[in-house]
Structures are given as structure tokens and as C-alpha cells.
Chain A
Amino acid sequence: MKRDRSDQLFKRALKAVPGGIYGHVAPAAGLPRHFPHFCDRAQGCGFTDVDGNEWLDFMCGFGSILHGYNHPEIEEAVARQREKGSVFNQPAEIMVDLAEALLERIEFADWAVFAKNGSDLTTWAIRVARESTKRPLIVKAKGAYHGVDAWCDPGLGGRIPEDRSSVLEFEWNDLEALSSLFSRNEGRIAAVILTPYHHAAFAPSELPAPGFWKGVEDLCRRHGSLLVLDDVRCGGRLSEGGSHRYFGFVPDLSVYSKALGNGYAISACVGREDFRKPSMDVFLTGSCWNDALAMTAALKSLELSGRGKVADAVLEKGNRLCTGLEQAASQAGQSLRMTGPASMPYPSFEDDESLFKIQKFCRLCAEEGIYFHPHHNWFLGNAHDDESINRAIGVAEKAMDRMSDEVS
């Protein structure tokens, strides 16, 4: 793989940006010498890095791309809006259109607000819950990611104990532990915030156990706490109407971002009527928060999702990929498990707690231009087709064979 330009850029970046590249796309989180540092352009389900290497991508902008990179209908709609402008003193008409579109699709939603990132609105949503209940405590699942704010971020620095003194945790799927938190903190829990299933990084995904969501919902109702769904990562890839439908429960507030704008920065929180008033008492704004381009992209993206039954489509594509990869592994005498929903699978090998095997597998696939991330769930998009999935499986077969031949 050519990487001269990527390395040069990284050297420049190191001087101008702490660490060169930061956050979940920082090289440290992946395979630094095997993945490129910088992208040049992308189309459909592939991208080209700054050295001209072409990649078949299974991360979809870490989930932000659902319909494929540079989707013509979305780009066309955005271009039309761009002629009128992007950010104004007041929101554009598109904000109302987009809010109405969300309410049409999400059956429990009576209102919607918008921001730019998932974190903006997960944090805002728990404040709405606190305002509504006048209670201090928030409950989350241990290891769950809800954004970059101090109450929940996975980093290590820049926090004080008080940042998390009002956040309680329980193990995902452990209803008894959740119930015990409610009992021990009667009348003090404002909300339980959860992702639709447990998709921690560096660990296999865990689906909700039978009865888990019903149990969570019951506990929240019984104790007068809000159920906040963080659908930032999953939204659009499990059900067009929100991931709660896929798992069969009803939240009070739900937050979306990632796939919502198909690559344009936007997040949304929707809520039930009961929480409209408290939502108005929790201040919300931002520099470009009413960006009409992102809202246009989101509206078109929702339209495409509905028209093409995209959630079902990406689940089906994911199934083909996951089945193919597990079979390839099995034929090579390896045991690969694709966990989580098939549209956003997390790969793990048996007996690979230290992750050496999965790192090696992803490195070998990267040598053939397949972008499989070793430590984060992957994302399927609607631009993936039979050809791209078959190619990925073919490369994986070779990689599995090499893994069986080579001593690591």
C-alpha cells in the first residue's frame, strides 16, 4: 500500500493538531500502519485515500453513511438548498419539514429538536429528564458510549469525580441490578439512557436478552423515570421508524444522528408530548445548529430510507456478509463470531480476548483493500451490493487461510 502522502500529511498534522488525528478515528484505535490516515474522496461503498489507494469500506464513515457516499439524490437536494444558503439568522422552512417527517415515521414522537452531533442531544436529553422529574440521577449501562461529555465519555483525562457522581451504572441485560438501583435510589432517578443493544468498542456486541426492554420500560414507568434511547449509532440501520421498533419497546425520548444526514452533520431528539414543556426549559442552541444543508440531506435520507426499505435491505446485506465470513472462518479452521445486528456487526474470534487474531485478520484484509475495523462494530450501507460483499468474503477467505498457515 502506498502511504507517502498520508505519512507526509500526518507529519504536518502532528505539528498543527495534537496527536495528528484524534477521537475514535485516531490511528491508535485501529491499525496505524495498515490503514490510511487521510481520505481523498468516496463514492458508493468505497473510498480513495490520499495516496490513491482504493478501499472497499465497511465502516461507512463510522456509521454516518447509510445510502452510500456521495449519493446523487441527496447531493442534488443539498445543491439546490445551497443555492439559497445554509445558515441564516432564522431556521429555514426545511426545519419544519424535517421535524414533521420524523414525527410521521416515529410513532411515539410528538416533537423534534435538532443539533449537530449525537453528544449534543444525549446530554440535552438527560437534562430534559432532570428538568421534567426534578431528580438528579441518571442510569446507564456499564461500558456504553453516549458521547464525548464528561458524564459519559470513554477517555481518561479532564474529568473530576463530580462529573460522574450523579451517574449510576449497571451491567447490560442485568435487570435485577437495574431494579436494585431503582430500589436504592427511590425517587432520585431522572432517566435511564440506553442504546438499543450493547455495542461497546473492543468487545463483542450484546443483544437485549428476552424481556430486557420490557423490564426496563416497566421499571422506568413504575418509578416515574424517563427512558431515553440513544439511537445515534443504530438509527436507520434496524428500522426506518427507530430501533425501538426493532426491539419492541417505547422510549420517552430518542436521539438520532450518524445515518440521519448521510454524511451531513445533524442530530435530532424526538420526544413524547409529556416532555414538550420541560424540553423548552432546557436551553439548546449552537453555532450552525439550524444548518439547512444538513437538514435537507436528512430529509432526503429519510425519504430514501422509506422508499427503499433501507433498514431491511442493509440487514439482509449484513446477513450475507456475516454468514459468508463465518463460513470462510470455519472452513479455515477458525472460529469467527459476528455479533450484534447484521447491519452493524462486530467481529470476534473465539479465544482471542487479547484481540491479536482479529487485528491480524483485519491487517491481512487491509492489504487487499478491504476496510474492516478490528475494534469497532462495522457498518453496512445500502450501496453495498452482491459484488462488494462477495469480494470482501473472497478476501476474508484468503486471509483466514493465511492465518491458519502462519504462526502469529
Chain B
Amino acid sequence: MKPSIDRIAHWAAARSIFGASLAISRYGPKMPELEPRLLPGKRISIGPKGLVFRDASLLMAIEKGLAMPELGPVFRNPLCALRSICALRRIARLYDQSKISPNNLSALLRAGLESLAVFGNHDPASRSLFCDESDELVDFRLDGYGSLAWLRLCPEGVFSATSETPSETPSVILTFSSPEVAFDAILRGMDQLGALATGKVLLQGKIPLMEKIGYLSRCVLGRVPVPVT
């Protein structure tokens, strides 16, 4: 099921939760994969069972940290719902600036890239930016650590984010000079001209592609909420 235009931001938020859950499971104690599904009636389910939000409630849950899921699914699968809620709390903690680590950054970045991929795949204006691009891989790195996450643009023009090391050579490498710079850039965006010139980030490879991705990410930042910590 593809999201209608008015549900793209909600779907992007749900996918970013999913992306973070996958990334966290790679480095920490396993947590439920919070794979989302679009449901009729402007509802989205998060995770295997038990957690269903109205679109607006999902955004509120992310932004305010508190929103009521539908009670029926919770009562039918209380344990599952509880595990998913705990996982959501754990994801929210990623956004706490006092706990920056490469692993957390990796999960945060994956969350952001999932959002970006949703817009790149489903928002007509965003899609049009990339009509001439295909088969590209963007490697996001942290200086002194290595790759945090990747964004892939497939030959069919479909975006996907991944935390698994790809076999292909990247078309662009964006390297954050420090965890703080990465945290700031992922959550708040960055001065794309100044950051490069001052060495906060290093950009190598297909710069025009990264310019487009950067532009899209700035558009997405304002449309998909992130937890306030």
C-alpha cells in the first residue's frame, strides 16, 4: 500500500521508527522490529502486533512522547504492545544529546534516511529532483569510526536506506568530522556551505547528487517530527 500524498509525512515518521529499530538491533540487545503498515482509516500499525495509531496520534507520540494508541489491539496483544512501547521509548532516548555514540548516531541517521527515502519514493516534487539519477550509493561516515549508514538509489529510481555494508563502491562519501557535528546535522540539518568550508564535513564524489539529497533532507526535516528530549 502506497501512502497518499497527505500521509507521506506520517509514513515517513513510521518508517524512521522502523529504521531506528533495525539499526539498534544490530549493535545492542535485540528489540522488536517495528515495521509499520498503512491501515485504512488513516491509521498506522507499528511493530508486529498490538500498536496501532491514528496518523495524527503517531506524530504526537513522536513529538510529545505521549499519545494514545488504539486500545483494541493493545488489549488483544498486551505483551507485544508493551514490548513495542518499550522499544519506542528506547528509540526516543537516541535523541538525547548527552548520549551521543557512534552506534546511536548510526541508528539516528538510519531513522533520518528512512524518512528521506519515503519522500524520495512517494512525494512527486521530491521524486522529480532525482529523475536523472539512478544506481547510486551514498556512504555516510564518521571520521575515525567508519560508515554509519548508507542511502541507495536503485536503477528504478527507488530509494532505500541500509545499515548493512553494501558491496558496491559509493558514488558519494559524506564524512562528519565529529559525533557532535553528525548529531547536529542529522537532527537539525546543517549550513551546507559553511560546514564543508570549515571542515565540519568532508564531501567526496558526486557533489551534485549530494546537493540534491541535502536539499531533500532539509525539506523533510521540517515535515517529519523528531522526539523532543
Interface residues of A (CB under 8 A from B): 7, 10-11, 14, 18-22, 26-29, 32-33, 37, 156-157, 201-202, 353-356, 359, 375
Contact of A33 among B129, B172, B194, B199 (CB under 8 A): B199
- Nearest-Cβ distance from residue A214 to partner chain B, whole angstroms: 29
Q: Once bound together, how far apart are the Cα atoms of A171 and B121, in whole Å? A: 26
Tell me if A355 and B207 are in contact (CB < 8 A).
Answer: yes
Tell me if B191 and A19 are in contact (CB < 8 A).
Answer: yes
Q: Once bound together, how far apart are the Cα atoms of A37 and B196, in whole Å? A: 12
Tell me if B212 is interfacial: C-beta within 8 Å of chain A. Answer: yes
In the complex, what residues of B have CB within 8 A of residue A26's CB? 193, 197
In the complex, what residues of A have CB within 8 A of residue B170's CB? 354
Quick one: closest B residue to A15, CB to CB?
Answer: B194
Tell me if A21 and B197 are in contact (CB < 8 A).
Answer: yes
In the complex, what residues of B have CB within 8 A of residue A201's CB? 208
Listed by A's residue number, 22 A-B pairs whose Cβ atoms lie within 8 Å are A10-B194, A10-B197, A11-B198, A14-B191, A14-B194, A19-B191, A20-B194, A20-B197, A22-B193, A26-B193, A27-B193, A27-B196, A28-B192, A28-B196, A28-B203, A32-B199, A33-B202, A353-B206, A354-B170, A354-B205, A354-B206, A355-B206
Tell me if B169 and A354 are in contact (CB < 8 A).
Answer: yes
| Size of the chain B interface, CB-CB below 8 angstroms | 23
What are the 10 A-B residue pairs with the smallest beta carbon separation, nearest first? A19-B193, A27-B197, A156-B215, A354-B205, A354-B171, A32-B196, A14-B194, A28-B196, A32-B197, A20-B194
Q: How many A-B residue pairs lie within 8 Å, measured between CB atoms? A: 64
Q: Once bound together, how far apart are the Cα atoms of A122 and B21, in whole Å? A: 52
In the complex, what residues of B have CB within 8 A of residue A33's CB? 199, 202
State which residues 32-46 of B face A: CB under 8 Å: none
Contact of B207 among A19, A21, A157, A375 (CB under 8 A): A375
Contact of A156 among B169, B171, B172, B211 (CB under 8 A): B211
Q: Once bound together, how far apart are the Cα atoms of A27 and B193, in whole Å? A: 7
- Nearest-Cβ distance from residue A395 to partner chain B, whole angstroms: 21
In the complex, what residues of A have CB within 8 A of residue B212's CB? 156
Q: Once bound together, how far apart are the Cα atoms of A91 and B26, in whole Å? A: 71
Q: Once bound together, how far apart are the Cα atoms of A159 and B161, in whole Å? A: 28
**What 0/1 readout, one digit per residue, does chain B (192-229) give for beta carbons within 8 Å of chain A?**
11101111001111111001100100000000000000
In the complex, what residues of A have CB within 8 A of residue B193's CB? 18-22, 26-28
Q: Once bound together, how far apart are the Cα atoms of A20 and B196, in whole Å? A: 11
- Nearest-Cβ distance from residue A45 to partner chain B, whole angstroms: 25
Contact of A355 among B129, B194, B196, B205 (CB under 8 A): B205
Interface centre among A156, A201, A359 (most CB of B within 10 A): A156
Give chain A's interface secondary structure class: loop
Tell me if B191 and A157 are in contact (CB < 8 A).
Answer: no
Q: Once bound together, how far apart are the Cα atoms of A19 and B169, in whole Å? A: 30
Q: Once bound together, how far apart are the Cα atoms of A355 and B173, in whole Å? A: 11
In the complex, what residues of A have CB within 8 A of residue B211's CB? 28, 156
Tell me if A156 and B206 are in contact (CB < 8 A).
Answer: no
Quick one: closest A residue to B193, CB to CB?
Answer: A19
Quick one: closest A residue to B212, CB to CB?
Answer: A156
Interface centre among B129, B194, B205, B211 (most CB of A within 10 A): B194
- Nearest-Cβ distance from residue A131 to partner chain B, whole angstroms: 31
State which residues 70-111 of B face A: CB under 8 Å: none
Tell me if B197 and A354 are in contact (CB < 8 A).
Answer: no
In the complex, what residues of B have CB within 8 A of residue A27's CB? 193, 196-197
Q: Once bound together, how far apart are the Cα atoms of A11 and B199, in whole Å? A: 12
In the complex, what residues of A have CB within 8 A of residue B169's CB? 354
In the complex, what residues of A have CB within 8 A of residue B208's CB? 201-202
Interface centre among B197, B199, B208, B211 (most CB of A within 10 A): B197
In the complex, what residues of B have CB within 8 A of residue A20's CB? 193-194, 197
**What 0/1 readout, one digit per residue, does chain B (151-174) give for beta carbons within 8 Å of chain A?**
000000000000000000111100
In the complex, what residues of A have CB within 8 A of residue B198's CB? 7, 10-11, 14
- Nearest-Cβ distance from residue B120 to partner chain A, whole angstroms: 14
Contact of A356 among B196, B197, B204 (CB under 8 A): B204
In the complex, what residues of A have CB within 8 A of residue B204's CB? 356, 359
Tell me if B205 and A19 are in contact (CB < 8 A).
Answer: no
- Nearest-Cβ distance from residue A236 to partner chain B, whole angstroms: 28
With A28-B197, A28-B203 in contact, do A19 and B192 touch (Cβ < 8 Å)?
A: yes
In the complex, what residues of B have CB within 8 A of residue A359's CB? 204-205
In the complex, what residues of B have CB within 8 A of residue A11's CB? 198
Q: Once bound together, how far apart are the Cα atoms of A29 and B170, in whole Å? A: 19
In the complex, what residues of A have CB within 8 A of residue B171's CB? 353-354
Q: Once bound together, how far apart are the Cα atoms of A26 and B204, in whole Å? A: 15
- Nearest-Cβ distance from residue B130 to partner chain A, whole angstroms: 11
- Nearest-Cβ distance from residue A154 to partner chain B, whole angstroms: 8
With A157-B215, A354-B169, A354-B172 in contact, do A29 and B194 touch (Cβ < 8 Å)?
A: no
In the complex, what residues of B have CB within 8 A of residue A375's CB? 207
In the complex, what residues of B have CB within 8 A of residue A28's CB? 192-193, 196-197, 203, 207, 211
- Nearest-Cβ distance from residue B223 to partner chain A, whole angstroms: 15
Tell me if A29 and B207 are in contact (CB < 8 A).
Answer: yes
Interface centre among B169, B171, B193, B211 (most CB of A within 10 A): B193
Q: Once bound together, how far apart are the Cα atoms of A18 and B193, in whole Å? A: 8
Q: Once bound together, how far apart are the Cα atoms of A22 and B193, in whole Å? A: 8
Quick one: closest B residue to A142, CB to CB?
Answer: B132
Tell me if B194 and A356 are in contact (CB < 8 A).
Answer: no
